[in-house]
């Protein structure tokens, strides 16, 4: 009986730790090249279209920012949750609720215009997402309900609620009954950062500012220390006078608020109206981003950009070398797999254990 | 060697202005909402792309993106095409309507063709659709003849006018044969999800329907019907391979003639914006072979098909009552295009509450 075990290394190499993402990238490139060769495509052209082509043109860099912004915002919020041992899987739902709350203003009061509209919308988006996140927080703090299940199931509630809104009360009166809201008026649209060169909006700026701020809070303040301690050992935290229950609310409200901000930024900046579906799964992808960035907001910025690049690269590869979108998805999987494998192998070593028969049963 | 030059060319094309290194006279690009292997909606659009390749050979280059989500991603995908040298871009799902118009405004030299929408905000946007509901009327008649229980199951996607129109047309066709015919509707809320569609099919069969029809794009319902030994209609594409003993007929979306014509118009410079809504008569909608039914039923179906083609029969002709019993169309009155395009109510007899 042979088993394979992961054994924690006594100490891990600082150099490997730092360069691990790069090593992962190289491994992905090599594995990808083999895959493309087997498909009869030129590996150089394929890798070029994945990693370089999206960065060769200004408009495409804008698109990268659009794609990365919600991922970074949501993942930053989630890092607070995950560090404090609160498993919020429902960012997708908080994103949607943020989009809905923020959109209430331009949809229900289209005649209300002016410079106050946008700040109010963003604020309502944050409130919407945060309020929605307090539901699983309350259930966990009061009844010890498993927050993984409650937050995940609330995603479906949010999706159906949005679906009902755009087919029912918020349906565009001039829209031939098609399921979408009226389009937002100019004052309700998040402006582009740098007009005329692309359509990236201020959502990206929010994402970067907030991630940097969060990095500071988590690493340089007492509150950040509290988050970590309660995550690592709730008991130790209690001795230090930190409240687990308060932390549950804090973490969920921050994560929900940021997901809500991401939601209203996406709706207002990138879409311009409510539709039955406003997110291609940002809330779930952001979980991957949070861990790829090792729950460090600065790492999350990098991870968000890389993941966004892999989406854009996947499209570019479909067009310029003609691979199917399944191949794009496989390639993205290779990337994530390599990153996680590298990280794991730096901290753990693989050990083949030969054990006696009797022992194996244990 | 050829591959190598292609690579170099490809890389060069992007360092120069995109597209300028292409040898073809025109580039036609397609965006699909599902995978081309759905054997339904996106598959048929892709058949149109292949027809364009066949018709023009080296003169036209083609490209496509499949499974593009409706939303912010669609706008990027369309813009990417517009920038990569496409001369004409077909966006083949309703949800691409606003992104198509937004991108079109930025690229006045590129032609845009949006399927099933109604917005043409700039001169380089055309819209096109087909009168699938004509085929649904024929299906309704066949269902009423073939069903022993007098109840058909209808797997619907989203409650948008096109789908509602199909359900109503099916109902009217069935009522023309059996006034007491019933239709049960299940909303799958997806265009393509074989698992969900199969579940919907099973639950409808368990509720006692013995004919199945679908407005979703996978072949799963057809396969379930085959397993359970009931009859079914194919959607968008001839699905006989998936239900040899099951498929009565299928509505086939034949986009090929339209795509060949429109790409040709780009080649000779005669392209103009328009809004077309073709049907059986023009060949954009076709019926798959009438199979697994007695000859007299097949003959009736063919006769109805001919009548619709010649314009003698229009499914939405009064007297028709709405589901709540109120009058909609008086004797001999035909539905106007506005009501048709925005249809959001059932006709009398549909056993479902329309999600609103």
Domain ranges in chain A are 1-41+323-362, 64-322
Min Cα–Cα distance to chain B from A269, Å: 10
State residue B263's pLDDT score: 96
Local confidence band at B132 (pLDDT 50, 70, 90 cut-offs): very high
Closest CA to B77 of B54, B56, B95, B58: B95
State residue A297's pLDDT score: 94
Q: In this model, does residue B1 exceed pLDDT 60?
A: no
Determine whether the interchain pair A176/B161 forms a contact, defined as Cβ–Cβ distance below 8 Å. yes
Nearest CA in chain B to A277: B71
Q: In this model, does residue B95 exceed pLDDT 90?
A: no
Residue-wise pLDDT for A51-71, tens only, equals 888 888 888 888 899 999 999
What is the Cα A75 distance to its own chain's centre?
A: 4
Section B80-108 average pLDDT: 92
What is the Cα A221 distance to its own chain's centre?
A: 24
Residues of B with CB under 8 A from a CB of A: 3-4, 6-7, 10-11, 14-15, 29, 35-36, 63-67, 69-73, 75-77, 79-81, 83-84, 94-95, 98, 118, 158-161, 189, 341-344, 355-356
Contact A95, A283 (CB under 8 A): yes
State residue A344's pLDDT score: 83
Q: In this model, does residue B192 exceed pLDDT 90?
A: no
Of B63, B94, B343, nearest to A319 by CB-CB distance is B63
Min Cα–Cα distance to chain B from A158, Å: 15
pLDDT above 90 as % of chain B: 68
Determine whether the interchain pair B10/A320 forms a contact, defined as Cβ–Cβ distance below 8 Å. yes
Residue A337 in contact with partner chain B when CB distance is under 8 A: no
State residue A191's pLDDT score: 85
State residue A238's pLDDT score: 85
Mutate to test the interface with B, among A44, A62, A177 (most CBs of B within 10 A): A177
Nearest CA in chain A to B11: A45
Q: What's chain B's average pLDDT?
A: 89
Determine whether the interchain pair B15/A56 forms a contact, defined as Cβ–Cβ distance below 8 Å. yes
Higher pLDDT, A320 or A28: A28
User: Token match 């209609």: residue?
Assistant: B233
Residue-wise pLDDT for A255-311, tens only, equals 999 999 999 999 998 888 998 889 988 999 999 899 888 899 999 999 999 889 888
Determine whether the interchain pair B69/A176 forms a contact, defined as Cβ–Cβ distance below 8 Å. no
State residue A101's pLDDT score: 96
Section A136-164 average pLDDT: 95
Mutate to test the interface with A, among B13, B50, B80 (most CBs of A within 10 A): B80
State residue A152's pLDDT score: 96
Q: In this model, does residue A162 exceed pLDDT 90?
A: yes
Section B122-131 average pLDDT: 93
Residue A66 in contact with partner chain B when CB distance is under 8 A: yes
Q: Which residues of chain A are within 8 Å of residue B16 when distances are taken between CB atoms?
A: none
Residue A202 in contact with partner chain B when CB distance is under 8 A: no
Q: Which CATH number does A64-322 carry?
A: 1.10.3470
Q: What's chain A's average pLDDT?
A: 88
Q: In this model, does residue A327 exceed pLDDT 90?
A: no
A contact residues 287-316, partner B, Cβ 8 Å cutoff = 312, 315-316
Determine whether the interchain pair A315/B84 forms a contact, defined as Cβ–Cβ distance below 8 Å. no
Nearest CA in chain A to B158: A179
Min Cα–Cα distance to chain B from A252, Å: 27
- A-to-B residue pairs, Cβ atoms closer than 8 angstroms: 94
* Sheet-wide strand order for B125-130: B60-65, B26-31, B88-91, B111-115, B125-130, B275-278
Q: Which residues of chain A are within 8 Å of residue B75 when distances are taken between CB atoms?
A: 199, 270
Min Cα–Cα distance to chain B from A117, Å: 22
* Token couple for B238: 């001839």
Section B291-305 average pLDDT: 95
Section A161-189 average pLDDT: 85
Determine whether the interchain pair B94/A312 forms a contact, defined as Cβ–Cβ distance below 8 Å. no
Residue-wise pLDDT for B199-251, tens only, equals 999 999 999 999 999 999 899 999 999 999 999 999 988 999 999 999 999 99
State residue A196's pLDDT score: 66
State residue A208's pLDDT score: 95
User: Token match 């479906």: residue?
Assistant: A156
Closest CA to A134 of A142, A225, A210, A105: A142
What gap in Å lies between CA A335 and CA A137, rounded to an integer? Answer: 33
Q: In this model, does residue B2 exceed pLDDT 80?
A: no
Q: In this model, does residue B25 exceed pLDDT 70?
A: yes
Min Cα–Cα distance to chain A from B229, Å: 34
Nearest CA in chain B to A43: B7
State residue A228's pLDDT score: 87
Q: How many CA atoms lie within 13 A of B38 on its CB side?
A: 29
Determine whether the interchain pair B70/A277 forms a contact, defined as Cβ–Cβ distance below 8 Å. yes
Q: In this model, does residue B349 exceed pLDDT 90?
A: no
What gap in Å lies between CA B97 and CA A203, rounded to an integer? Answer: 24
Local confidence band at A316 (pLDDT 50, 70, 90 cut-offs): confident
pLDDT above 70 as % of chain A: 96
Determine whether the interchain pair A63/B66 forms a contact, defined as Cβ–Cβ distance below 8 Å. no
* Token couple for B224: 């379930």
State residue A271's pLDDT score: 87
Determine whether the interchain pair A176/B341 forms a contact, defined as Cβ–Cβ distance below 8 Å. yes
Q: Which residues of chain A are within 8 Å of residue B94 when distances are taken between CB atoms?
A: 178
Alpha-carbon distances of A230 from A89, A135, A147, A294, B182, rounded to whole Å: 19, 21, 16, 18, 61
Q: In this model, does residue A212 exceed pLDDT 60?
A: yes
Q: Which domains does chain B have, with CATH numbers?
A: 21-131+255-278 (3.40.50.2300), 132-253+285-351 (3.40.50.2300)
Determine whether the interchain pair B84/A320 forms a contact, defined as Cβ–Cβ distance below 8 Å. yes
Helix (H/G/I), strand (E/B), else coil: B148: coil
**Residues 6 or more apart whose Cβ sits within 8 Å of residue B225:** B201, B205, B212, B231, B232, B243, B246
Nearest CA in chain B to A174: B342
Residue A191 in contact with partner chain B when CB distance is under 8 A: no
User: Token match 């025109």: residue?
Assistant: B26
Mean pLDDT is lowest, of A145-149, A349-353, B147-151, B316-320, for A349-353
Local confidence band at B23 (pLDDT 50, 70, 90 cut-offs): low
State residue A56's pLDDT score: 86
Determine whether the interchain pair B14/A275 forms a contact, defined as Cβ–Cβ distance below 8 Å. no
């Amino acid at each position: 009986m042979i088993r394979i075990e992961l054994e924690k290394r006594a100490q891990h190499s600082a150099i490997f730790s730092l360069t691990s993402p790069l090593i992962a990238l190289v491994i992905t490139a090599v594995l990808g090249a083999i895959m493309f060769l087997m498909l009869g495509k030129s590996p150089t052209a394929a890798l070029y279209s994945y990693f370089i082509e999206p960065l060769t043109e200004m408009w495409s860099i804008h698109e990268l920012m659009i794609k990365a912004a919600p991922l970074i915002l949501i993942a930053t919020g989630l890092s607070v949750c995950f560090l404090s041992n609160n498993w919020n899987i429902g960012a997708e739902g908080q994103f949607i609720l943020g989009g809905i709350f923020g959109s209430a203003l331009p949809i229900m009061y289209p005649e209300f215009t002016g410079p106050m509209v946008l700040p109010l919308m963003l604020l309502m988006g944050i409130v919407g997402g945060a309020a929605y996140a307090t539901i699983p927080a309350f259930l966990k703090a009061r009844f010890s309900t498993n927050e993984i299940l409650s937050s995940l199931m609330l995603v479906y509630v949010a999706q159906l609620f949005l679906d009902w809104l755009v087919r029912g009360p918020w349906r565009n009166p001039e829209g031939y009954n098609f399921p979408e809201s009226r389009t937002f008026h100019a004052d309700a649209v998040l402006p582009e950062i740098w007009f005329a060169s692309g359509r990236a909006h201020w959502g990206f700026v929010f994402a970067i500012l907030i991630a940097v701020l969060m990095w500071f809070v988590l690493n340089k303040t007492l509150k950040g220390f509290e988050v970590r301690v309660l995550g690592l050992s709730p008991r130790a935290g209690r001795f230090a006078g930190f409240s687990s229950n308060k932390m549950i609310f804090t973490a969920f409200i921050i994560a929900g608020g940021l997901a809500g901000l991401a939601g209203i930024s996406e709706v207002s900046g990138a879409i311009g109206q409510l539709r039955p579906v406003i997110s291609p799964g940002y809330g779930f992808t952001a979980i991957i981003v949070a861990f790829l960035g090792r729950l460090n907001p600065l790492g999350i910025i990098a991870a968000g950009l890389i993941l966004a690049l892999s989406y854009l690269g996947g499209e570019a590869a479909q067009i310029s070398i003609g691979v199917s979108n399944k191949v794009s998805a496989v390639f993205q999987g290779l990337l994530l797999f390599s990153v996680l494998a590298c990280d794991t192998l730096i901290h753990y070593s693989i050990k083949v254990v030969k054990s006696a028969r009797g022992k194996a049963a244990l | 060697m050829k591959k190598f030059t292609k690579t170099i060319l490809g890389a060069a094309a992007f360092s120069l202005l995109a597209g300028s290194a292409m040898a073809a006279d025109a580039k036609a690009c397609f965006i699909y909402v599902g995978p081309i292997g759905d054997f339904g909606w996106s598959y048929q659009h892709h058949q149109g792309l292949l027809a364009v390749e066949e018709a023009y050979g080296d003169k036209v280059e083609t490209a496509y993106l499949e499974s593009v989500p409706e939303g912010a991603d669609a706008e990027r995908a369309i813009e990417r095409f517009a920038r990569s040298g496409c001369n004409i871009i077909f966006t083949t799902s309703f949800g691409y309507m606003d992104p198509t118009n937004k991108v079109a405004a930025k690229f006045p030299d590129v032609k845009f063709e949006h399927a099933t929408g109604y917005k043409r905000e700039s001169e380089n946007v055309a819209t096109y659709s087909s009168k699938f509901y004509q085929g649904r009327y024929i299906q309704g008649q066949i269902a009423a003849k073939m069903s022993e229980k007098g109840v058909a199951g209808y797997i619907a996607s989203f409650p948008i006018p096109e789908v509602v129109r199909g359900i109503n047309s099916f109902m009217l066709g069935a009522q023309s044969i059996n006034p007491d015919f019933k239709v049960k509707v299940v909303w799958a809320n997806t265009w393509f999800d074989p698992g969900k569609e199969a579940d919907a099919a099973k639950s409808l069969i368990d509720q006692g329907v013995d004919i199945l029809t679908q407005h979703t794009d996978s072949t799963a319902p057809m396969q379930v019907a085959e397993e359970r030994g009931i009859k079914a209609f194919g959607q968008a594409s001839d699905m006989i391979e998936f239900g040899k003993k099951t498929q009565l007929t299928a509505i086939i979306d034949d986009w090929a003639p339209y795509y060949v014509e429109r790409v040709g118009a780009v080649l000779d410079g005669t392209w103009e914006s328009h809004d077309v809504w073709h049907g059986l008569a023009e060949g954009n909608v076709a019926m798959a072979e009438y199979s697994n039914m007695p000859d007299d039923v097949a003959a009736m179906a063919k006769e109805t098909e001919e009548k619709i083609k010649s314009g003698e029969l229009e499914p939405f002709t009064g007297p028709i009552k709405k589901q709540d019993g109120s009058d909609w169309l008086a004797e001999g009155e035909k539905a106007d295009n506005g009501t048709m395009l925005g249809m959001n109510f059932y006709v009398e007899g549909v056993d479902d509450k329309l999600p609103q």
